[in-house]
């Protein structure tokens, strides 16, 4: 834990692996997670509609799923930390209305199961 998912519209020039590594490093620096426990993935979305106008628009939506038990303040700090990394990770395209957002989801600690198979 945690699980991190990055979804973004295909009209954004994201270097997903590089961005995920930066986010993982920031999560480790938060001292809330062990490095080996962070699982991140990125999903590039081809079929996207934002609003109803044909304007040039794009989005990036990040989901950080963590086990229950952290305060609202810690969850807010984590979402802001991830947002800062995303905002500063690259130069965003000119003339493109880009929406960036981060949400923190809680996974019920009582029902979460995990196995770690290290050979």
CA distance 56 to 49: 10
Helix axes 16-29, 72-88, angle to 10 degrees: 140
What's the predicted TM-score (pTM) here?
A: 0.92
Classify domain 3-107 by CATH number.
Answer: 3.30.429.10
Where do the domains of the chain lie?
Answer: 3-107
12, pLDDT greater than 90 = yes
Q: How many CB atoms lie within 10 A of CB 51?
A: 9
| Arithmetic mean of pLDDT, 72-92 | 96
> Strand runs (DSSP E) across 1-119, as ranges?
3-9, 39-45, 57-67, 97-107
Q: What is the pLDDT of residue 79?
A: 98
Reply yes or no on whether the pLDDT at 53 is more than 90: no
pLDDT at 62: 98
Nearest to 72 by CA among 112, 106, 35, 100: 106
């Amino acid at each position: 834990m945690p699980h991190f998912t990055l979804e973004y519209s295909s009209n954004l020039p994201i270097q997903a692996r590089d961005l995920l590594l930066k986010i993982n490093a920031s999560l480790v620096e938060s001292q809330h997670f062990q490095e080996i426990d962070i699982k991140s993935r990125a999903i590039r979305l081809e079929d996207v509609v934002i609003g109803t106008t044909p304007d040039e628009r794009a989005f990036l939506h990040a989901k950080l799923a963590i086990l229950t038990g952290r305060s609202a303040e810690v969850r807010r700090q984590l979402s802001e930390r991830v947002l800062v990394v995303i905002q500063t990770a690259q130069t965003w395209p000119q003339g493109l209305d880009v929406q960036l957002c981060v949400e923190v989801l809680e996974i019920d600690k009582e029902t979460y199961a995990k196995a770690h198979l290290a050979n």
